[in-house]
């Protein structure tokens, strides 16, 4: 979470360092950190903090590149930012990773209509 805050403040080098330290301190962090970062991404999005939301989802993807839920969350955030093409690309990636994702499929249907 410190890494996201550093990134939010424009301190990307400090963010990367903080992120690396968090992973090195706890060998099990790779198992729980993606879920925590997804939750943080959703929290930031709901607060209208879209850049912070995307940064949190990017951290998830770096830890767990095959995380369909992270791509879905990114898609919703991009949609709220009026970045329609980026949103569609994120949802398509989510569906590639999890073809059974009704949520990503539903968002893509909405995107096709408007």
Every domain of the chain and the residues it spans: 1-65, 68-114
* Band (62; pLDDT cuts 50, 70, 90): very high
Give the mean model confidence (pLDDT) for residues 76-92.
98
Cα-to-chain-centroid distance, residue 110 = 20
Kindly tell me if the per-residue pLDDT of 27 is higher than 60. no
pLDDT at 17: 73
> DSSP secondary-structure letter at 83?
-
Mean pLDDT of all residues belonging to the chain: 87
User: So what's the pLDDT on residue 67?
Assistant: 97
CA 85 to mean position of chain CA atoms: 16
Write down the pTM of the prediction.
0.76
Is the CATH number of domain 1-65 1.10.287? no
Query: 18 falls in which pLDDT band (50, 70, 90)?
Result: confident
Whether residue 38 has pLDDT greater than 70 = yes
Any residues with CB less than 8 A from the CB of 58 and at least 6 apart, and which?
A: 74
């Amino acid at each position: 979470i410190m890494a996201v805050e550093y990134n939010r403040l424009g301190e990307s080098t400090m963010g990367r360092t903080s992120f690396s330290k968090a992973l090195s301190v706890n060998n099990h962090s790779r198992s729980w950190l993606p879920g925590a970062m997804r939750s943080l991404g959703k929290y930031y999005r709901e607060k209208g903090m879209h850049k912070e939301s995307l940064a949190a989802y990017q951290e998830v993807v770096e830890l767990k590149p095959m995380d369909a839920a992270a791509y879905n969350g990114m898609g919703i955030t991009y949609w709220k930012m009026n970045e329609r093409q980026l949103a569609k690309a994120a949802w398509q990636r989510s569906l590639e990773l999890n073809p059974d994702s009704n949520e990503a499929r539903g968002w893509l249907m909405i995107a096709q209509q408007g």
